[in-house]
Structure 1
Amino acid sequence: MALLFLRRRLCMFTAEIKEVIRGSQPFCSSVAPGRQRVNGVDLYYEQTGRGKQAVLLLPGALGSTQTDFGPQLKSLNKERFTVVGWDPRGYGRSRPPERDFPPDFFERDAKDAVDLMKALGFSKFSLLGWSDGGITALIAAAKNPDLINKMVVWGSNAYVSQQDLSIYNAIRDVSKWSPRMRQPMEDVYGAELFARVWEAWVDGISHFVHRPEGSICMELLPLISCPTLIVHGEKDPVVPGFHPQYLLKHIKGSKLHLMPEGKHNLHLRFSKEFNQLVEDFLED
């Protein structure tokens, strides 16, 4: 039964990657690229729009502006929002350095993200975090309450369970993925580097299962004071449904929006619906 469950999860994950391929096609030419020195690293970012509200997009594991947020950089309202996408250190075009995963890698990403926005001149901003980027957003919001306006997270978790660990291990070996699954990341990293960094990510995220209750940032959730929207696809094969319920329970005043047909990459597959949901929440 367990093997059948993991096979089903892997098949669903394959479909997710196909959507990432479609979502990472070239987008609007009004996006301006740049680099900013932050905490000793040259971070790559892309900025678009001229609205009063600044919004930072935080990508998932090994993710980048190129792979993760094409529809958001293209279509979020540019009159209302100034949107910044970034590649965390060691990801995408923020290389060197080569990515590593020390025990505090989420905290490091959160500090880099906040310091990047401050360096770009934004005194207050909102966070849109997907998957690992959602975890980073949770930490950033908890540790910088005066800087974060609002936050949207999806496909994210505050702890690692044994069920999560089984899912991670089922997708550890990228040689077992179809070529179509591997394509987006191999385009960014090359085949050898992608395989190595992905396995290092699995090891890094799996480490948290050995902490009390598998905590990544459980203890920080009560410190989050900004309005928070949690979005979850009910067909997400990567993040089980008990994770958004946990976030809802422990982030004061947060709201949960379920998308019945949504999977892990719901912001790509249902980008129009997702973007409208985000715009409405940020402007409410």
Structure 2
Amino acid sequence: SPQVWSLQDLRLPALAPLQASQNPWPLALRCPSCTSVTSAKIQVNGVHLHYQQTGQGDHAVLLLPGMLGCSQTDFGPQLKSLNKQLFTIIAWDPRGYGRSIPPPRDFPPDFFERDAKDAVDLMQALTFKKFSMLGWSDGGITALIAAAKYPSLIHKLVVWGANSSVTKEDIKLYNAIRDVSKWSEKVRKPMEEMYGHEYFARTCEAWVDGISQFAEKSGNICEHLLPYIVCPTLIIHGGKDPLVPQFHPEYLHKSIQGARLLVIPEGKHNLHLRFAEEFNTEVEKFLAEA
């Protein structure tokens, strides 16, 4: 005979008063606009900067991409899966990257400082008075500089694949990726789709020259600024990162007051994409701590 269920057996959530956190409907059904990703441009420091935004949380988080990267190429799993009830997530395209063209990308001696000012001014223009930053690779360097120079605006900081100096060993690694035709198709293809081959190839060469400038001047990019970072900081490192030797995250760890270092043993440079679930979980846990 068919099994008969009583309402009591079912313990339907509607039978008890609901707390806000117990709402039985998924966020996507209650508020479709809260889980969708919107795309827009806003004028900042004379440039129309492109950004993507999602979520409705009180805690604003800015995602900063790596060399030649942008919101579209670098942060798919984060825009999709970071907690949209806790966080409002913004991913930006630095000037000359992604859809923030024009202007074409260039690399004057202060290009990291320029990116840091653009990033902070973008968030202020979007009326996020205080925010956290997730910075990958070059975006991590930009985030370190922003956290040091604008301490009252930065809530928490997460960086991975980042370095505060350039050594002779680094220059060898950078020159090995100068010629984009030698990149794996998997990494090269989305970049060529975004930029076209010529802009991509030319800008990569210009980046190698731009980052190599620092090696000619004692190697320092932002080592002198690290003692000024006062926000809670999490440094994540891929144990198999071919572009960033382990001494870089170790130096950041010992130079930033109270910083934590998390090593993902099998992680490479793009650990937030390859190990997205583990990465997102660790980042959410860190950002949500009191």
Displacement of 1:174: 1.2
Q: TM-score under structure 1 normalisation?
A: 0.89
Aligned amino acid, residue 272 of structure 1: E
Find the aligned partners of 1:171 and 1:115 in 2 and give their Cα distance. 32
Q: Flag the 1:29–1:147 CA change in 2: closer, same or farther, 3 A.
A: closer
Structure 1 or 2, whichever has the larger Rg, is 2
Counterparts of 1:22-61 in structure 2, within 5 Å, are 30-61=36-67
Contact 2:35-2:54 at 8 Å conserved across structures: no
Contact 2:35-2:55 at 8 Å conserved across structures: no
Counterparts of 1:1-284 in structure 2, within 5 Å, are 30-212=36-218, 214-284=219-289
Aligned to 1:158, the other structure's residue is in SS state coil
Find the aligned partners of 2:39 and 2:187 in 1 and give their Cα distance. 27
Aligned amino acid, residue 132 of structure 2: S
Aligned amino acid, residue 217 of structure 2: R
Find the aligned partners of 1:65 and 1:187 in 2 and give their Cα distance. 14
Find the aligned partners of 1:82 and 1:247 in 2 and give their Cα distance. 27
Find the aligned partners of 1:184 and 1:33 in 2 and give their Cα distance. 19
Contact 2:192-2:200 at 8 Å conserved across structures: yes
Contact 2:35-2:84 at 8 Å conserved across structures: no
Match of 2:4 in 1: none
- Which structure 1 segments of 5+ residues have no match? 1-27
Contact 2:242-2:268 at 8 Å conserved across structures: yes
Find the aligned partners of 1:201 and 1:168 in 2 and give their Cα distance. 9
Displacement of 1:29: 7.3
Q: Deviations over 1:189-208 (max 9, x none)?
A: 00011000010001001111
Q: Deviations over 1:62-111 (max 9, x none)?
A: 10011000000000000000000000000000000000000000000000
Aligned to 2:98, the other structure's residue is in SS state coil
Displacement of 1:115: 0.1
Q: Higher RCO, 1 or 2 (CA under 8 Å, sep at least 6)? A: 1
Could you list the structure 1 runs, at least 4 aligned residues long, displaced by more than 6 angstroms after superposition: none
Contact 2:131-2:154 at 8 Å conserved across structures: yes
Find the aligned partners of 1:178 and 1:34 in 2 and give their Cα distance. 31
Aligned amino acid, residue 240 of structure 1: P
Find the aligned partners of 1:29 and 1:195 in 2 and give their Cα distance. 35
Aligned to 2:152, the other structure's residue is in SS state coil
Q: Deviations over 1:109-136 (max 9, x none)?
A: 0000000000000010000000000000
Match of 1:17 in 2: none
Aligned amino acid, residue 246 of structure 1: Y
Displacement of 1:282: 0.4
Q: TM-score under structure 2 normalisation?
A: 0.87
Q: CA RMSD in A?
A: 1.1
Aligned amino acid, residue 97 of structure 2: Y
Find the aligned partners of 2:268 and 2:180 in 1 and give their Cα distance. 20
- Which structure 2 segments of 5+ residues have no match? 1-33
Aligned to 2:41, the other structure's residue is in SS state strand
Find the aligned partners of 1:84 and 1:242 in 2 and give their Cα distance. 30
Match of 1:9 in 2: none
